Amino acid sequence: MANLKEVKERINSVVSTQQITKAMKMVSAAKLRRAQDKIVQMRPYSQKLTNILNNVSAASEGAADIIYAEKREVKKVLLIPVTSDKGLCGAFNTNIIKATNAAIKDQFSAYDVTILPLGKKSYEYFKKSKYPVISDYYQVFQDLNFENVRLAAEYAMGSFVAGDYDQVYLVFNEFKNVATQIVRTEQFLPMAKEETTEVKTSEVDYILEPSRSYIIEELVPTSLKIQLYKAVLESNASEHGARMTAMDKATENAGELLKELRLMYNRTRQAAITNEILEIVAGAEALG
């Protein structure tokens, strides 16, 4: 049985850890609120922009082909896994890495795969792999804003147009709620044409200046950049939700461990007292 000093040290250690996990949970809760507000505001804008683009494209006859929708024989694929910069968020980062590896094995095993990681955790993992890694944009979460994400999107878009890659896929966590994050693997390029049902005339009745083709050429790059920015915001909110949940669970586990350690401390203390009493009684009897 452990002595009182060892048990006391373990109790103090667990108490310190519990205080840290409580503080991290509170910090994540505050960050989650801000991140959740951003993604809630971004979703309607992204959806509306996509709907306008689809409606304008559907209503255009003889419009120039969209270069970002060009389909060609697939030989080279760019994967963009979005993770966090830090750990202590449960299986958040592990799920993205697993999903990326599964996509490489199941979908892209016959192609040349390149990784463009967003987030330090994915960069640290894939830089040790056999796949080429684009290391210019993984620090996007150090200062998360549209301009930094735009640079990564422009690289992917420019490389696709230049023929460096034939397909580009995003792998990220979609934020559902604090306890639930859904891993998504979505095609970024070439743009997938959404199948729409009946389109009302009022939805496509636009007056376009200077021309329909020009508007499409301007809308498409903006829509793609917004799509990547939305995925990054989804991942950011998911990260804080996952960390908040993980720290809450860690705090609960620390509480359970403290109960066991305090019970052990009391038992050890009682055993020590009993031994002292027995020694005293034995000594008294010897003197008698």
Kindly report, residue by residue over 87-139, the tens digit of the pLDDT: 999 999 999 999 999 999 999 999 999 999 999 999 999 999 999 999 999 99
Residue 37 lies in a domain: yes
Question: Is residue 125 packed enough to be buried (19+ CB in 10 Å), middle (13-18) or exposed (0-12)?
Answer: buried
Higher-pLDDT residue of 266 and 63 is 266
Q: Which domain range does residue 87 map to?
A: 25-245
Question: Mean per-residue pLDDT for 57-72?
Answer: 68
pLDDT score, position 220? 86
d(CA 123, CA 138): 6
The pTM assigned to this predicted structure is 0.84
Count: domains in the chain? 1
**148 lies in some domain:** yes
164 occurs within a structural domain? yes
Catalytic position from the list 89, 231, 232, 246:
89
| Within a domain: 252 | no
11-20, 200-209, 214-223, 270-279, range with the lowest pLDDT: 200-209
The yes-or-no verdict on residue 60 having pLDDT over 80 is no
pLDDT digits (tens, 9 = 90+) for 184-208: 999 999 887 654 444 444 455 667 6
Identify whether 272 is part of a domain.
no
Domain CATH for 141 = 3.40.1380.10
Look at residue 259 and tell me if it is in a domain.
no
pLDDT computed for residue 1 by the predictor? 53
252 is catalytic: no
Asked if pLDDT for residue 63 goes beyond 70, the answer is: no
3-state SS class at 171: strand
Higher per-residue confidence, 56 vs 200: 56
Q: Which comes out higher in pLDDT, residue 212 or 29?
A: 29
| Whether 159 contacts 38, CB under 8 Å | no
pLDDT at 205: 64
Burial 43-62 (b: 16+ CB within 10 A, else e): eeebeeebebbbbbbebbee
Indicate if the pLDDT at residue 149 is higher than 50: yes
Query: Does 18 fall in a domain?
Result: no
